[in-house]
Amino acid sequence: MEREKERMLAGEAYDPADPEITADRRRARDRCRRYNDTAPTETDRRERLLGELFGEVRGDATVMPPVRCDYGYNVGVGDGFFANYGCVFLDAAPIAFGGNCLLGPGVHVYTATHPIDPDERAAGREFGEPVTVGDDVWIGGRAVITPGVEIGDGAVVAAGAVVVDDVPARTVVGGNPAEAIREIDGE
């Protein structure tokens, strides 16, 4: 019999009340709490705790407390990653950030989702769809990135945008739902 965590990691419907998955969420909450309780001068401790919280930290990354996530181990960040205060990562599926990504305050990235059918939803199962963010992306404050979205290299997501569709490289999007505002001129 397939374990629920294996189903979750495979992007299949899973039971979020499963004891192993519940323990993983508790562990992530504890790691977030420890990270969020650090002083600004505790840079070495923050680096160590962030490495324990996130699944992958490639190079130098800065995350301003508080930060929240469901599991942490499904979050990967590239070199030069910066997340401002109050970011939330619901990482039932992978969330991958490229290098030099900048997140404004209160950015939310969701991979967890639920069935549309109310009877299926009432059964309590959920699933996740990965989110991928390319290199050199800037996501403005209070933006929301929804499950399954891919954001191309060099894109900009305006503050407050709700991104429900993929964002092409070097494109500025904004609004709810987010729409292309303009392309970013090349070199």
Least reliable range by pLDDT among 9-13, 35-39, 51-55, 172-176: 9-13
Which tens digit of pLDDT belongs to each residue from 82-113? 999 999 999 999 999 999 999 999 999 999 99
User: What's this model's pTM, rounded to 2 decimal places?
Assistant: 0.96
> Two tokens at 184?
């970013």
Contact 126, 113 (CB under 8 A): yes
114 part of the active site: yes
**3-class secondary structure, 23:** helix
Note whether 98 and 133 are within 8 A (CB): yes
Q: Which residue has the tokens 């919280």?
A: 53
Given pLDDT bands bounded at 50, 70 and 90, which one contains residue 1? very low
Inter-residue contact 77 to 61 (CB < 8 Å): yes
Indicate whether 187 pLDDT > 80. no
Place of tokens 């909450």: 29
**Residue tagged active-site, from 34, 58, 68, 114:** 114
Tokens of 4: 């629920």
Q: What is the CATH number of the domain that holds 94?
A: 2.160.10.10
Q: Which domain holds residue 152?
A: 4-183
- 119-172 residue pLDDT tens: 999 999 999 999 999 999 999 999 999 999 999 999 999 999 999 999 999 999
Provide the pLDDT for residue 184.
Answer: 96
Domain count for the chain: 1
Q: Tens digit of pLDDT for each residue in 45-87?
A: 999 999 999 999 999 999 999 999 999 999 999 999 999 999 9
